[in-house]
Amino acid sequence: MFAFASRKEDGRMTDAAVKTVDSDQWSVARKTGVRGQGSGIGARVALVALSLAILALAPRKLSAQDCLTCHGDASMTDSNGHSIAVDGKKFGDSIHGSLQCTNCHADIKGYPHPDKIAPVDCKTCHADQADQLKSSVHSDSKDHPCTSCHGNAHEIFPKTDARSAVYPLNVPKTCGQCHGNNGMAGKHGLPSIYPNYIDSIHGFALSKEGLLVAANCQSCHGSHSILSHNNPKSPTYKSNVPQTCGNCHAKINADYQAGVHGQAIAKGDLKAPVCSDCHTAHAILQPTESEFRMQSTPICGNCHKEKFSTYRDTFHSQLGSLGGYVETARCWDCHQAHDVRPASDPSSPINKANLIATCGRCHAGANLSFVQYQPHANARDRKLNPGLYFVRLFMNLLLASVLTFFMIHTILWLIRSRYSQVKNRAANGGKHA
C-alpha cells in the first residue's frame, strides 16, 4: 500500500525521524555550488558523459547532485508527461535534506537507471507510522497515504515548521483537500467538514488568530491512527469525547464528569450527551452568542421532550425564540451547562435553597415568593398545576364563547342588513336595483 508512484509530481514522504544519515557527499555537492537546473542539452550531455566516465573508471554511489543533474530541470517529465523534477534547494532544506536520493529510491544503483523504478516505501524508515496507518480509516486510500497529507515528498518539513503541510495552522487545509466541498470524502458519502470547522470557534482561533493551541483536525482525531467514531478505541468515540475535549478544556471536563451526564457516560449509558451533542463536532459556536443559544435549546429537548415542551410555553422561551436577544434563560442558564445535577442535590442551582440566587442572576430582587414561579409549569396538567389549569380553561372558554357568539351574530347581521339594503333600494327604484 505504500506504493510511491514516481510519476506523481507531488510524491511525498513522512516527517518522522530519519534513521539513516549519510550526508557527506551531499554536503560536498552543496559546497561546490553546482546545480543542474536550467543547463542546456549540451551541458547536460557533457555532464552525463563525465559521470559515465567516472562511473566506468571507479564505480561508486550516486550522490544527490548526480541525480539533480537531470532531475533538477524543472521541466523534466517521464514518458507519460508527469513531472519528475526535484527542487534541489527545497529538498536540501527539507527534513530529508541530509539523505541521498538512493536512500529512498533504493533500486537505483547507478546511471543510467531503468525507465521504471520501484515506488518508494516510506515504511522502510517510518515503520511505526505505517503500522498505525494500516489500521486507520485511511488504510484503503488509493492515493499515496503519506504524501496526501505531508505534501511533496521532496519538500517535507517538520510539523513545527510553518512550511509543513501538517503545521497546526495548515492542518485544516490539508485535511480539507479531501474533507471539504467536492473533496474525496464527498464521493464516499462523508460530510463536508472543512467549511463547518473553519467557521467554528476553533477554526476562527486557528485561521484568524493563528493560535497554535487551537484544536485542529488532528487534535481530536489523531494523525496516523485515525479511527472511525464508531470504534471504541477512537478519541471521537462517544464515551471518549469528554476526555478528548478535556485534553484542552480540563476544567469543563471536570465539571462535566461531576454532573449527571458525565456520570451516565462513565457508567456506559451512551444515551447521555457528550460535548459534541450540544456543541456539535465541527461547527462549534461561541456559547454566549445568540446563534448558539438559539440552536442548543432544542438539542436538550431531543431527550428532555416534556421539559422542552413546557419550557416553550413560558415567556423565557417566547423571548428566546425571537433571536437577537441572548439574555433570556435557556436550559443551561438555570441547570448549568456541564455540572448538571438533579434538584435534590444541595449543590444544584435548582435546589430549593439555591433558587433565589439562581433566579436572581437575571431577576434583581428575586424573593422567596418569586422563585415559586415554575419554569416548566404545565397548564394542561390539572393535578400538577391546578391553578394554572383552571385559569387557562377559563380563558379558553371566554375566548371561544365570545368569538363564537359574535361570529354568528356578525354573519347573520351582515346577511340581514345587506338583504334589507338591497330590498329598500329596489323598493325606492334605486339605480342599482
Partner 1 sequence: MPELEPAAEKTQSAPKGTYYLRFTRQQRYMHAVLFTTFLGLAATGLPMRFSESFWARKFAAGVGGFGAILFLHKLCAVVLTIAFAIHIKEIVQRGIVNREKGIFWGPTSMIPNWKDVKDMLGHMRWFLGLGSKPQFERYAYWEKFDYWAVFWGMVVIGFSGYAMWFAPFFAHFLPGWALNAVLVIHSEEALLAVLFIFSIHFVNTHLRPDSFPMDMVIFTGVESEHEFKEKRPLEYERNSRKGELKKKVGIAPPLWLINFSKVVGYTAIFIGLLLLVLTLTAYFS
In the complex, minimum distance from the CB of residue 232 to partner 1, in angstroms, rounded to a whole number = 39
Q: What is the spatial distance between Cα 62 and Cα 200, in angstroms, rounded to a whole number?
A: 50
- The grid coordinates of residue 356 equal 433565589
Query: In the stretch 359-388, what mask flags binding to partner 1 with x, by CB under 8 A?
Result: ----xxxxx-xxxxxx--x-x-----x-xx
Please tell me whether residue 402 binds partner 1 under the rule CB under 8 A: yes
Whichever of 208 and 418 has its CB closer to partner 1, that residue is 418
Which position among 109, 116, 409, 423 is part of the footprint of partner 1 (CB under 8 A)? 409
Contacts with partner 1 in 271-330 (CB under 8 A)?
Answer: 312, 314-315, 317-325, 328
Whichever of 9 and 405 has its CB closer to partner 1, that residue is 405
Whichever of 221 and 316 has its CB closer to partner 1, that residue is 316
Please tell me whether residue 404 binds partner 1 under the rule CB under 8 A: no
- Count of residues that bind partner 1 according to CB under 8 A: 55
Q: What is the spatial distance between Cα 101 and Cα 65, in angstroms, rounded to a whole number?
A: 9
In the complex, minimum distance from the CB of residue 297 to partner 1, in angstroms, rounded to a whole number = 11
Helix H or strand E segment including 311: helix 305-312
Q: Which one, of 130, 136, 168, 165, lies nearest residue 148 by Cα?
A: 165
Q: What is the spatial distance between Cα 197 and Cα 215, in angstroms, rounded to a whole number?
A: 10
In the complex, minimum distance from the CB of residue 375 to partner 1, in angstroms, rounded to a whole number = 9
Q: Which amino acid is at 374?
A: Q
Whichever of 46 and 319 has its CB closer to partner 1, that residue is 319
Q: Which amino acid is at 27?
A: S
Whichever of 27 and 321 has its CB closer to partner 1, that residue is 321
Cis previous bond, 112, omega within 30: yes
Residue 83 DSSP code: B
Q: Which single residue is written with the C-alpha cell 471521537?
A: 236
Instruction: Phi first, then psi: give them for residue 421, nearest 5 degrees.
Output: -65, -45
Candidates 81-89, 103-111, 229-237, 412-420 — which segment interacts with partner 1 by CB under 8 A? 412-420
Please tell me whether residue 352 binds partner 1 under the rule CB under 8 A: no
Q: Which one, of 52, 76, 60, lies nearest residue 28 by Cα?
A: 60
CB 192 within 8 A of CB 180: yes
Candidates 93-101, 209-217, 231-239, 406-414 — which segment interacts with partner 1 by CB under 8 A? 406-414
Could you give the angle at which helices 305-312 and 315-322 cross, rounded to 10 degrees? 80
93 burial class (0-12, 13-18, 19+ CB within 10 angstroms)? middle
Please tell me whether residue 57 binds partner 1 under the rule CB under 8 A: no
Q: Which one, of 260, 282, 280, 283, lies nearest residue 272 by Cα?
A: 260
Candidates 67-75, 79-87, 187-195, 421-429 — which segment interacts with partner 1 by CB under 8 A? 421-429
In the complex, minimum distance from the CB of residue 196 to partner 1, in angstroms, rounded to a whole number = 23
Which position among 157, 399, 423, 428 is part of the footprint of partner 1 (CB under 8 A)? 399
- The grid coordinates of residue 409 equal 351574530
Please tell me whether residue 425 binds partner 1 under the rule CB under 8 A: yes
CB 108 within 8 A of CB 117: yes
Please tell me whether residue 343 binds partner 1 under the rule CB under 8 A: no
Where do contacts with partner 1 occur on this chain (CB under 8 A)? 312, 314-315, 317-325, 328, 363-367, 369-374, 377, 379, 385, 387-388, 391-392, 395-396, 398-399, 402-403, 406-407, 409-410, 412-418, 420-422, 425, 430, 432-433
